[in-house]
Every structure is written in C-alpha cells, then in structure tokens.
Amino acid sequence: MEVRDAVERDAPAMADLTDAPESVLRNLVHDRTVRVAVEPGADGEGTVLGFVSFDAREGTVHVTEFGGDRETEERLLAEPIRFAEREGLAVELLVRADHDDAMRAAVDARGFVDAGPGPRFRGEPTRRYRLDPVPSDRNSR
C-alpha cells in the first residue's frame, strides 16, 4: 500500500468508499489536503483503497472525510496526525452514528478520545473525537 496526494481522477473511487457524491469529492480534492492509499497496479495508477481529507483552522486540524477498511483508515489517519504534530495542533473528527464499528475502531486505535456529541449530519447524530498529539521536537524548542 502506498499513500499519495489525491487527484481529481480519484473522486469516483473515493465516492465508492463513502456515501458522498462524486462531485463533492472532486471539489474536496481541490479544497482540502486529501491523501489516498493505493494498491500499486501494473498501469502505474493503482486501486484506491481509502482516503482522508483534512484542513487546519482555528488552531485545530479537522479531518473532514475518510473512508476505507479499518487498516487503511488507521494508516491514513496518520497523515493529519503527523501534520498536527509538526504544527503543534490538536486533531478533531466527527463519526456519524450510522457508520460501522471499523471507523470507530480505527479512530480508537490512533488514540483519539470521545469528546462528546457533535452536530447532526444529514439528520443523524455524530460523535466528536479529539487527539492532542505530542508536538514534534521542532516545536518543543
């Protein structure tokens, strides 16, 4: 599995991993930092196994979307965590109540803690998860 920056042509595969429309994910590639996990293929493109999108605002890195199987989600969540460590920021994300346990397991495995209820999303309740990573050496000097 390799992790790389997402490109617009990844949007259909990303849409297959979530319930978000392809057009929304195409815009996401342009508006956020988006990383994809791919299984390299003979054509050089590879199969998209999962993705994570995030941005930083108000002193926090916000994971805006992620998808894939549990192992892939765990690996991809390392991307915003590394960024947050370098910048000395916390990481937050929301998980909808209707998502399966694999997403919550990936979040738990990365050390996020349940920070209480989040806003409703498409009428469904969400839970807010937060991680306060230890800053990298660069920021602790």
The answer to whether 98 and 69 are in contact (CB under 8 A) is: no
What pLDDT is attached to residue 85?
94
- List pLDDT tens digits, range 118-128: 998 878 899 99
- For the domain made up of 2-136, the CATH class stated in words is alpha beta
Supply the mean pLDDT for the chain. 89
10-31 confidence digits (pLDDT tens): 999 999 998 889 999 999 999 9
Is 4:11 a contact under the CB 8 Å cutoff?
Answer: no
Q: State residue 116's pLDDT score.
A: 92
pLDDT at 122: 79
More confidently predicted of 54 and 135: 54
Res. 140 pLDDT band, cuts 50 70 90: very low
Q: What is the pLDDT of residue 43?
A: 66
What pLDDT is stored for residue 121 in this prediction? Answer: 83
pTM of the model: 0.86
- pLDDT tens column, 36-49: 999 987 666 779 99
From residue 136, alpha-carbon distances to 8, 12, 74, 88, 130 in Å are 32, 35, 20, 7, 18
**Each residue of 68-119: pLDDT tens digit?**
999 999 999 999 999 999 999 999 999 987 666 888 899 999 999 999 999 9
Domain residue spans in the chain? 2-136
37 bridge partner residues: 3, 50
